[in-house]
Amino acid sequence: MKRNVQLTLTLCFSVLLLHAQEDFHSDISKPDYHPASPDAAALGRYGQYNVSLNTGTPEISIPIYTIKVGDFTFPVSISYHASGIKVTDVASRVGLGWSLNAGGVISQNAMGILDGYQSMLNVPQSFNPDCGINNCTTNADYLLAKDIIDSRIYDTEPDLFTYNFLGFAGKYVQTNAGIATLPYSSEITFGDDIIDKKGNRYIFGESETSTVIRTCTSYSKNPLSSGPTAYYLTKVITAMGDTIQLVYEHEIYSYFQSTSSKKYFRNTSAPGTDSSCELPADMSCRDRNSVNAPRLTQIIAPNGVIINFTYTQVRDDLETSSGQYQAKALNSITVTDGGSTSFVYTFEYAVKGTQLGTDGKAATGKRLYLTKFTDKDNGVYAFQYYNWESLPPRDSFSVDHWGYYNGKTNTTLVPSLSLMSFAGADRSVAEFSGLTYGTLQQITYPTKGYTVFDYEGHRPDASGSGYIGGGLRIKTISNYDINSALLTQKKYAYYSGINAGLSDENMVLTYNSDVLIQRKAIEGGGYADTGTARCEFLVLSSTTNPIMAGVDFNSNFQYGKVEVTDYTDALAGKSVFYYSVLDFGTGFPVPQSDGRMEVKLSKEEHYRYNTSTSAYDAQPLTKKEYTYAVLSDNVSQFTNLGEVDNYDQVVGFRIKYDIPEQPGGVAKFSYYHYKYTSIWYYLQTLVETTNDGTNSSVTTTQFAYEKPHAQLTKTTMTNSSGDEMKRVIRYPQDYSTGGIETPSGPSGSIHQEQYRGLPVEDLIFVNDKLVSGQLNKSVLENGFLRMDKKYTMDLSTPTTNSSYPSSNTTSFSLLTGSPYREYFSVVDKDAKGNPIEVLSNGKFRQAMIWDSKKREVLAICENAKYSDIAYTNFDNANKGSWSYTLSSGTGLFGSTGYSSSSGISRSSLDPNVEYKVSLWANGDTGHTPSISYTPSTNTNKLKIFDAGNGWKLYEWVVAKGITSITVSTGGGTTVIDNLRLSPSTSKVITFSYKPLLGLVSKTDPANRSEYYSYDAAGRLTMIQDDYKNVLKTFKYHYIEDIH
């Protein structure tokens, strides 16, 4: 059996396009309770990678297992971020550059002091600690500046939080009003927990703590920061009330984090400088981080699935002690259904690096690499890295401006300064392959085919030559077969750099600053009043700008134009993507002003290759142009805003010593104010142009969003002929009751926010005339939202706009004369809230039987009441309204059947209904299944179908008049399976499931079945019929194994 892996990559603009892909035809179908059929078309293949184009970073993901609970999915995967390995980078539990995605985390980046541990000090705009040559002991701002730096009793900088969990990722800060996302987002809301737009609740109840100790050449400071720095997802409560739990244990370790240095020079060449000025002492500091971190051990799902994470390999690349809290790498993941069924995935590693760190620690010189991943079918995926043995220890001075290895033999991080004839560090970017050291080079699949990643350094200039910096971007992705024959190759070309932020060569290379001090002359150990001395110093730092210390300069490179071509197949065409900056106008271009700008896709063009000219067409085959609306920020950072819809801000203040206070001389400072801004922006217009070389057409779509819920409320699509289609959407926040009712009446708006993303009303207009719409009414039961009724309109004659709206947004009721009619309603539910009987158009009934855990639907019967159906496949504890004593046998295709001679019965039948009973049987010819009923004088008609594989289909139609029925196997070795009861005029579809896999068979109303087989990645590989004939196969082997 061949095995494969799905490698999923995320385009940076994929979320953006969701709105652009809206279906503008109103969906008026009733809810579909059928399980999702295996969908092969949407699944990936080996070697196919998308790239975050504006940054040039391929995000490589290998799925492991996905928990499915109702409509909620909880994926587990590992992913690789291929932007280059920094010298100080520390591996995760799955290797350097890799991440385990299983739940989620909120990380707290302490800016100065951890939020909540000291009082927050709002430094006024008029703050000025520079007191010249005067006695500063009475200068309040001077004394406060020293207090902020030395005593660490004030917190002047808001911490920056990043979140990444189950498809949600972003940043936020804490403000006086609560949480402000950067930029503003309505996808999730923050309170005691986090709630998404569908009503799923996420609880982060496990914390990671770290303590950073700074040791300097002349002293050791108190911890720079100490306390919780990350919070881990511990529970998910879905919108349907199901709970997924995550269990952790803890590990304790420490590691070298960073080095910083500062050197002072007497600038005697400056006019008027006194040569007697005392030179401040040079400073060099090392930071070490001690961490107490949660380690995921188990995920427990309500459907019985349990995922166990096992850690056995001790982390040689970290300083950790033996015992209960020893740091270890992840070695296996085991997925079970709570019983005997299990999938096992394993991980193997190599530890590289033999040099000791400059701190004398062996761990500082070692790095953990993932080398193999083995799936549940023993398919092995091997990983190779560029020069993985050549990276220096993590405290090496051989680093470029951004922290990547440059191969230079530096003895300090302070760069050279020719002005002072100082021979310091060479911080230039490696022109050789050192920039790629330690980065993923190749993935080899179980088929022995492989993919090779070729990188190049970022170049901010549009020419693609000259200065290099900022890590790696992907250049080519090449796929080979087992014989190393090239199959496909994609090339990426980058133009027109957008340096949003600090990715500018001049800023990055500024390591020095001038400091001027006017101090009083010293005579006899005291101050003299006879004059002053002018002291000017040059301060040279190991960071690009001392006051910007702690800023991550990686991932700031953005490209305004990216071209993608398939080098091996010109006929595949060429695509060009353009990006632009949304500048929110904060006016504070400092790295802490997060949220002030975003880089978004502005245009994409797709060209056809013309075989007659052997070139790409001059005009694109298709073109899409995007424009955005931005809530501008013209507010002073010191203004008290109060509450403003979809906008918030928080002001921070950063201050550093240029020179500490000296005997006879005052301190000098660098400082500034900045702010984080949470500003709303959204896609406003999409213009789509198609051109076949002769004719062209243009479609324009406008998107409207309403405050304060910031959700799509109107789309207007106009074509080249001037025809217009408009869609209007309303949400729970648009109704005083939230569009929610309880059995006893309106419930108020308590759940408007929790279920804010679920549309209530959806209307379609063509040329300003209402043509169709739907209205959803829900009920609130036990704190959770359930669909109750759906109203729809399908107008034969479109009405004018005067009849809009058709529902009352105040009382959630239909307006007089409304064209709405009840289309769908829930008649009855089970204890879990699953519908077991629904009604459409007031006359068509549908009944459902769910499994014992109320998670999966086992049978759906059209044109029947729930009281008139029964079904069991003997695989599930739910007997499906039959009554029998459990007895196992081998059923269809190895499933569980029923072999007892005891009867299977059903009572309380409707004597006015003609019933149909069917089953499959396999056994000796002398013992055949039969039925009996009350009254026994009734009649039936029997049909038998021989499948030719030992199994026969028995089907009885029983005349009206019976009130109970009993089914017998006939004894002997006979086994029966898939036992159905329903009205003879109904149509039944039944489903079977396997633990961990999901749907494995579907049987239609004619009792013909399809059987589904899956590969190690859980993807559909084969469909078979009742005879085990292969109806269809699915191959995902982009790189084929050759025998």
Q: How confident is the model at residue 520 (pLDDT cuts 50, 70, 90)?
A: very low
Q: What is the pLDDT of residues 367-387, one digit of tens each?
A: 999 999 998 888 899 999 999
pLDDT of residue 238: 92
pLDDT of residue 1039: 37
Measured distance CA(419)–CA(409) in Å, rounded:
22
Query: Is a pLDDT exceeding 80 seen at residue 1011?
Result: yes
Q: How far is CA 827 from CA 408, 666, 844, in A?
A: 75, 81, 12
Residues 249-263 have a mean pLDDT of 89
Query: Is a pLDDT exceeding 50 seen at residue 591?
Result: no
Pairwise pLDDT comparison (520 vs 562), residue with the higher score = 562
CB 84 within 8 A of CB 471: yes
Pairwise pLDDT comparison (976 vs 647), residue with the higher score = 976
The DSSP code sequence of 289-314 is EEEEEEEEEEEE-TTS-EEEEEEEEE
Query: Is a pLDDT exceeding 90 seen at residue 963?
Result: yes
Nearest CA to 405 out of 422, 381, 429 is that of 429
The mean of the pLDDT values for the chain is 79
Measured distance CA(335)–CA(68) in Å, rounded:
13
Q: Looking at 3-7, 625-629, 672-676, 970-974, which range is the least confident one?
A: 3-7
Residues 329-348 have a mean pLDDT of 89
CB 775 within 8 A of CB 804: no
Q: Cα angle vertex 1008, ends 1005, 1010, to 5°?
A: 115
With left for phi above 0 and alpha for psi between -120 and 50, is residue 592 left, alpha or beta?
alpha
pLDDT of residue 331: 97
Residues 156-162 have a mean pLDDT of 85
pLDDT of residue 28: 39
Say which residue the tokens 């690349």 belong to. Answer: 317
pLDDT of residue 883: 93
Measured distance CA(981)–CA(571) in Å, rounded:
56
Q: How far is CA 199 from the centre of its chain?
A: 17
pLDDT of residue 753: 60
* Pairing state between β 930-934 and 915-922: unpaired
Q: Looking at 20-34, 198-212, 531-545, which range is the least confident one?
A: 20-34
Say which residue the tokens 């300083």 belong to. Answer: 319
Q: Contacts for 416-423 with beta carbons within 8 Å, 24 or more apart?
A: 417/265, 417/512, 417/538, 417/540, 419/538, 420/265, 420/538, 420/540, 422/263, 422/265, 422/540
pTM of the model: 0.84
Query: Is a pLDDT exceeding 60 seen at residue 24?
Result: no
Most confidently predicted of 149-153, 490-494, 511-515, 642-646:
490-494
Q: Looking at 133-142, 437-446, 553-562, 995-1004, which range is the least confident one?
A: 553-562
Query: Is a pLDDT exceeding 90 seen at residue 181?
Result: no
Measured distance CA(802)–CA(884) in Å, rounded:
61
Q: How confident is the model at residue 882 (pLDDT cuts 50, 70, 90)?
A: very high
Residues 336-346 have a mean pLDDT of 83
pLDDT of residue 77: 92
Residues 856-866 have a mean pLDDT of 93
pLDDT of residue 119: 62
Residues 414-436 have a mean pLDDT of 82
Q: How confident is the model at residue 517 (pLDDT cuts 50, 70, 90)?
A: low
pLDDT of residue 663: 64
Measured distance CA(515)–CA(669) in Å, rounded:
9
Residues 478-495 have a mean pLDDT of 91
Q: What is the pLDDT of residues 779-793, one digit of tens each?
A: 777 777 777 888 888
pLDDT of residue 182: 85
Residues 73-96 have a mean pLDDT of 93
Q: Looking at 22-31, 382-391, 420-429, 512-521, which range is the least confident one?
A: 22-31
Exposure string of 331-355, with b = 16+ CB inside 10 Å and e = fewer, is bebbbbbeeeeebebbbbbebbbee
Q: Looking at 89-98, 338-347, 617-626, which range is the least confident one?
A: 338-347
Pairwise pLDDT comparison (495 vs 298), residue with the higher score = 298
Nearest CA to 832 out of 847, 819, 849, 815 is that of 849
pLDDT of residue 239: 87
Question: What is the total residue count of the chain?
Answer: 1043
Residues 647-661 have a mean pLDDT of 81
The two three-digit tokens of residue 884, written as one number: 């029998």
Query: Is a pLDDT exceeding 60 seen at residue 221?
Result: no
**What is the amino acid identity at position 335?**
V
pLDDT of residue 586: 43
Pairwise pLDDT comparison (636 vs 623), residue with the higher score = 623
Query: Is a pLDDT exceeding 70 seen at residue 43?
Result: no
